[in-house]
Amino acid sequence: MSIQQISVFLENKPGTLKKMTGVLAENKIDLRATSLAETKDFGIARLIVDDAISAINTLKEHDFVASLTPVLAIEIPDEAGGLDKLLEAFDNENVNIEYMYAFSGGKSVNSAYMIFRVADTKAAEARLVGKGVKILTQEDIANI
């Protein structure tokens, strides 16, 4: 049930991020979430989109260096303590988080969405299923 995150390597200079978002916009690829980490010379944009395969092919056609990474997308209640309850499930199941980021909005005004990179998504899914954790599919992401 993991989804595909796109990681795009971007030169750290003015206009590079805009060029990437322009390519996505021109090709009607809808961003659901994004995270940007940078160093002195380059950045890594992590993207969750409605159609990951179309997006990565489009980016590569426009000379962007991009790769797909499986991540967990989890819906949580958009309320105080929502993330804490989810992290308790991760802790109880001994699932280590490498990084995470969030987004809100979509059709459900009472939900927020967390993206988690873990070492083994399949093992994490198996441990979290049945613990009250709502793991989203790529189709779910496309319909948010």
The predicted-structure confidence for 39-96, as pLDDT tens digits, reads as follows 778 899 999 999 999 999 999 999 999 999 999 999 998 889 999 999 999 999 999 9
pLDDT band for 104, please (50, 70, 90 cuts): confident
> What residue segments make up the domains of the chain, in order of their start?
3-70, 71-142
Q: Is 43 exposed, middle or buried (0-12, 13-18, 19+ CB in 10 A)?
A: middle
Domain 71-142 is of which CATH architecture? 2-Layer Sandwich (3.30)
* CATH placement of domain 3-70: 3.30.2130.10
- pLDDT over threshold 80, residue 6: yes
Q: What pLDDT is attached to residue 105?
A: 73
| Distance in angstroms (rounded) separating the CA atoms of residues 33 and 25 | 14
| Residue that has been written with the tokens 């805009």 in this structure | 18
Instruction: Tell me the pTM.
Output: 0.90
Q: What pLDDT is attached to residue 46?
A: 97
| Distance in angstroms (rounded) separating the CA atoms of residues 58 and 23 | 8
The predicted-structure confidence for 112-128, as pLDDT tens digits, reads as follows 999 999 999 999 999 99
